[in-house]
Amino acid sequence: MISLFGHTALVTGGTLGVGRAIGEQLARCGSNIVLHGLQRDAAAEDAQAAIQSLGVDCHLVTGDLSGPTEEAVAALVDRATSAADSIDILISNAGTYREPDFLEIDFATFDRTMKLNVYSHFFLIQALARRWIERSVKGRVLVTGSINGRLAEQTHAAYDTSKGAVETMIKTLCVSLAPHGIRVNGMAPGLVRTPLTALALDQPGVTEWMKLHTPNGEVPGPNVCAPAAAFLVSDEAWHIHGQMLLVDGGMSVWQQPDPPGV
């Protein structure tokens, strides 16, 4: 069993989907949690209660990371560190997924996607890294990427662009921060069922089609991502730096499936 006792993790976008699953898994491993969500709503309070039921401290902080990045990140860091001064793990997970077709994307939509999916990760890591270096803390960072950082979707041009940037960012920040004892890695889910993906998956035939394109034939829930995240921020992964672990049922290695019945 991975142990994270004595650690405190800030989990952004932690009230739903993959973020919530990761927060609960880290709590099972003993980490205290600072849970970030867009707003204090029923889902956020339910996620906080679920984590507290696991016997660890869980603070809930809110904020919109798609706003002006400098102000949004500064406000989140202030709220999070005021709630728990001992944060030494960052799960930078907040992101957006829905957008119109490429020819319909306007600047505001693209800008919001990049702010939330790239800028907020970059500057949140920077802010906490500065704090950790000043305090000689060996911090651990995990950024949620996506299989879309490697495999494009016709209807997600801005999202795909942002997730490609995330993968290179992880490598670059590894080079900058590893000499300070700070580990930066990423996890890229394949298609998992979350509130963001449910609208597409619930369309007739979509889930079956995606299972066909996944070697293990599964479209699981977000809990499938959580053990990998816990491992990557644990002591057992001390020599893993700058890597993107794909949790995708093999989708990323399959050029194309055979047609049904072949």
Please tell me what DSSP assigns to residue 56.
Answer: S
Q: How many helices (H) and strands (E) does the chain have?
A: 9, 7
The upper half-sphere exposure of residue 134, i.e. CA atoms within 13 Å in the direction of its Cβ, equals 6
Please report, for residues 39, 50, 60, 67, 95, the alpha-carbon distance to residue 43 in angstroms, rounded to integers and kept in the order given.
9, 11, 11, 22, 17
At 91-127, the pLDDT tens digits run 999 998 878 899 999 999 999 999 999 999 999 999 9
Q: What is the pLDDT of residue 261?
A: 61
Q: What is the pLDDT of residue 215?
A: 93
Architecture in CATH of 8-245: 3-Layer(aba) Sandwich (3.40)
Q: What is the pLDDT of residue 63?
A: 96
Q: Is residue 252 scored above 60 in pLDDT?
A: yes
**Domain edges within the chain:** 8-245
Position 260 confidence tier, pLDDT thresholds 50, 70, 90? low
| Cβ atoms of residues 226 and 21 within 8 Å | yes
Give the separation between CA 74 and CA 99, rounded to whole angstroms.
27
Give the separation between CA 57 and CA 80, rounded to whole angstroms.
13
At 29-84, the pLDDT tens digits run 999 999 999 999 999 999 999 999 999 999 999 999 998 999 999 999 999 999 99
The pLDDT mean for the chain works out to 95
| Structure token digits, residue 226 | 């959580």
What residue spans of the chain are helical by DSSP H? 17-28, 42-52, 69-83, 107-114, 120-135, 157-177, 198-201, 206-212, 226-232
At 156-199, the pLDDT tens digits run 999 999 999 999 999 999 999 999 999 999 999 999 998 888 88
| Residues labelled catalytic | 159
Q: What is the pLDDT of residue 99?
A: 85
